[in-house]
A and B are shown apart, each in its own frame.
Chain A
Amino acid sequence: MVGLRSLGRGPAMRPPVAQHPAPLFTRPLASLKAGTFSLGSQRGHPVLLSFLNTQAEATAANDPSRAEIVFIKSMDTQNRRYGLRTVIVDAADAAGTSPPGRDALVNFTFDWALDPSIAVVGDEDGSLEEAYGVTKTPTTLLIDKRGIISRRWDGFALAAQLDFAIRPLVGRSIVEPGSGSNGG
């Protein structure tokens, strides 16, 4: 299904790939408190940026956006203390849906019991998806402390794939046997 907002989409742009600068953006936070999330202000921290269908309904096939949320939460829990920042973008265009309103995005944070440290933002005009060349959900990028894209997953990313990529950016060894997260 193609969402209403996909009508008139311009020619496909080459998506930003690894080792290229991540397009900067500033968006209002989906939160009961006012505030914005600015990628530029995260310099000095690696950022896990995940484009999801936040309004995905449960299906027996396990919608990949819903399954991805579980891993995104786990990565945030494990790596937040090491400096990782996590932001979820509602990718309505890529999901083929109409953009949710602010309330629906706020509710998404409660429905999934997201830690307040995870930023959730909308993309009502689709410009962010366009800037990042996002054509499917989930799409996840890992951005290093300098704002350079380190890894990109077009489609579902497993915890191991995410963790392998995140650890070097937050200074964690991949051979440490140490404690993990709170599950997930």
Chain B
Amino acid sequence: MAIRWPRTLILFAVSAVLAGSFSLTFAGRAAAAGTAYYVNCAAAANGDGSLASPWNNLGTVNGKAFGPGDSLLFDRGTTCSGSFVFSSSGTSSSPITIGAYGAGPLPAIDGTGQNRAVKLLDTSYVTMQDLEVKNSRVWGVLVTTDHDAPAVGITLQNLAVHHVTGGDYTAMNAKWTGLVVFAPGMIVEPDMTKASGTYTRNSYFSNVLVDNVTAYDTTLWGGIFVWGVQIDQDTRWRRDSQNQAIQSRNITIQNSTVHDTYGDGIAIYMSHEGTIQDSVVYRSGMQPPPVTTGTPVGLWWWTSENMVGQGNESYDNHSPGVDGGGYDIDYGSANSTMQYNYGHANSTYCTSVFGSGGPTTNSIVRYNVCAGDGTVHTYLKSGVVTAMPGDSEIYLCTWNGGKLVNTWIYSNTFYINSTGQTAGLISDGCSGGGDHESGGIFKNNLVTSAIPNVLGDVSVLNSRARDYNLYFYTGGTFTDPNPEPHGIYNTDPLVNGLGYDGAGRPATQWTLQPGSPAINNGTNACAGLTGCTTGTHDFFDNQPVPLGGAFDIGADEAG
């Protein structure tokens, strides 16, 4: 039996310290050196911020400054009404914690219809955790700057943010609104006047971590949204968007859930070194037509570099116009990897890669399961009902001088059952058409279709090297106009749960049964491609790839 501190002794020690300096938190986490301050908005009288006499309103809290290592703790089970504005910073070794004390449900900040319920302004090294944030007008949690320096080391964890429904982003003509929004150099609310700073584009976010945040219900734009470069009430951000020196960086969003947003679900713009993982997005893009500010996607990034999206589920996403897909590597991005994701039942595509105004380079789409996407077939274009482009599983599109360089799509499992005009495996429906692509591949993919147009736009598919794919049309015989030398056609792939496109990450569905023709009939899709790697494991159960001496076809490596 291990030697342990008696429980009673631990309690005694904690009580003794609390009675003296109130220097420990009740959050069950490591306490930093500093002072703990307490807020109980149910308290009858406003106190001094001590545990025995907590503050009881946000107005008092907003007027206080906090130092490195301090904690600001709200009493669980209570609600503070109004807007919480926080502008203090910790240090890398002594961050400030905004959190909860006591036991019970998350303490709530009720924005009561004000522009934002929580605003973190010009802060660095701050962790905000264990809070419910609700009922505001434009932002739930707004993290922003009004200075010309980076904001570093911001963590949001264990938050429930919801009901941001009173504002109108169309009036702002801006996407930087919604539930959890990072946007440096904001045009400051509430009157839309310019902030006080003189900006030289030196403010950005670095080392941001969002973990276990649930964000839902907004008629504003984003669920969890990172706008990477400084805003200065102009459109210079567009000119500067690809300048990595001024982009935000080291952004991680994980273990989070977003649903029911008018705009994007989880999105990162103009950043580098970003990861979105192990998260779920559904019913984003719920804004009714017509299009005003943009066309949303469930989970995506734009003009960003060295990005990874993995282990996510994105489904039932929509748009007031085009888009409304599950995942997107959008134009101006480089070195992107979308892997181990599940996309299904989206209005349009499971995954897209777009190019505009230059190249989108080195985009890897691998070990994903895409099923039953392309559920919406028309949209209103200038008030006219128009066929929806991209209601296929993959949507590749270039315009305005854009091109796709090295789009490597391999080892995915696709299930097609859309009945739209561009239904099928792949399509390119941009204005002017033409998928300007070089260096692309399409290999080792398992394609099962319930519709006869299995390939979709075959010319798009043929604009990249393709081979070692398995195609199976459940309704009959399928003929490939350009047969692959090592392709497998019209053979039942013998997968478990064929047709599964429901909510819940597939665990057994779409795995290969013994004897499947997909087993050991793939290839090293990256052979001869500089910078392309086959990955370390499959979608389902971390099986190393290859297994059994050769690569399997599809997202499962069975043997």
Please report A residues at the B interface, Cβ cutoff 8 Å: 4-10, 32, 55, 57-60, 62, 66-67, 69-70, 74, 77-78, 93, 98, 100-108, 110-113, 124-127, 130, 158-164, 167, 174-184
Contact = CB atoms under 8 A, between A and B. Distances in A.
Contacts of A58: 155, 157, 209, 211-212, 254-255
B interface SS class: loop
A167 B509 CA distance: 12
Contacts of A32: 103-104
B24 to A, nearest CB: 12
Given A58-B254, A60-B207, 7 more contacts: A57-B29, A60-B252, A67-B278, A103-B102, A111-B158, A126-B2, A164-B541
A55 B28 contact: yes
A107 to B, nearest CB: 6
A98 to B, nearest CB: 8
B274 to A, nearest CB: 11
A38 B121 CA distance: 48
A107 B507 CA distance: 30
B497 interface: yes
B449 to A, nearest CB: 15
Query: What 7 A-B pairs have minimum CB-CB distances, sorted nearest first?
Result: A180-B504, A104-B28, A163-B507, A58-B211, A181-B504, A8-B3, A103-B103
Contacts of A67: 254-255, 278
B487 interface: no
A181 B157 CA distance: 24
B250 A60 contact: yes
Contact of A66 (B211, B252, B504): B211
B527 interface: no
Contact of B105 (A110, A161, A177): A110
B414 to A, nearest CB: 15
Contact of B496 (A5, A57, A174): A174
B507 A160 contact: yes
Nearest to B501: A177
Contact of B27 (A10, A104, A164, A182): A104
B541 A10 contact: no
Contacts of A9: 2
A125 B3 CA distance: 9
Interface string B154-165: 010110100000
Contacts of A6: 2
B199 interface: no
A126 B1 CA distance: 8
B7 A8 contact: no
B450 to A, nearest CB: 12
Interface in B482-505: 496-500, 502-505
A152 to B, nearest CB: 15
B540 interface: yes
